Structure 1
Amino acid sequence: MTNVTILELVTGFAIALALMVTEYLLCTKMKNPLWGGIIPCLILVGTIWIFSSGTVPLEMQYVFPFIILNTLFFGDWGTGRDKYKKLQQKEMERMKAKDM
């Protein structure tokens, strides 16, 4: 690997990490579940655009990383919403316990 390739790889991971953190915060802190879907939907639209424009050839070696990326972000959205619901349920239980 050359230095440029390593730099690109590190930059890609940094961007992915920032998007994952943002996705987590949107899913677990916002009341409306659609906020958490912004990033996964944008990634899906971007993936479709990349392949339909011909920027990246539609071959399995190129498609597979995009499938993984989309699966991770949509899965994160679902997991984040589940966590949000559990946090809300715990808060309700605490409030009920204080009322008694």
Structure 2
Amino acid sequence: MAPRTAAAWSPPPPHPIKGGEEIARYLTGLASRAPGGLTLSEHAVNRQAGLFVAYAGVTVAVYAFHVAGDRVTRIWAMRDLDKLRAWTTGSSAAPYAF
């Protein structure tokens, strides 16, 4: 049941977030509001650098990063809990693509 409560502390932003500072502020804010904290783990997603975010042992977000040179130029995010069921932490069948 814990993942369903995630919507209370992690509403999606009302508009696309642009710029390193704004993105960092948004993600830090999400993490600070999560009761009990979040677990972050690195994984390749669509053959790109990626990040899984878990809350109470359930994956609640998956991010894929496009990197050009030494800069992240685009971030794709999946936060739909129904679509993320197969990504649940510990699932050996977790897909690593959107």
Q: TM-score, normalised by structure 2?
A: 0.31
Q: RCO (CA 8 Å, sep 6+): is it higher in 1 or 2? A: 1
Q: TM-score, normalised by structure 1?
A: 0.30
Higher strand share: 2
Higher helix share: 1
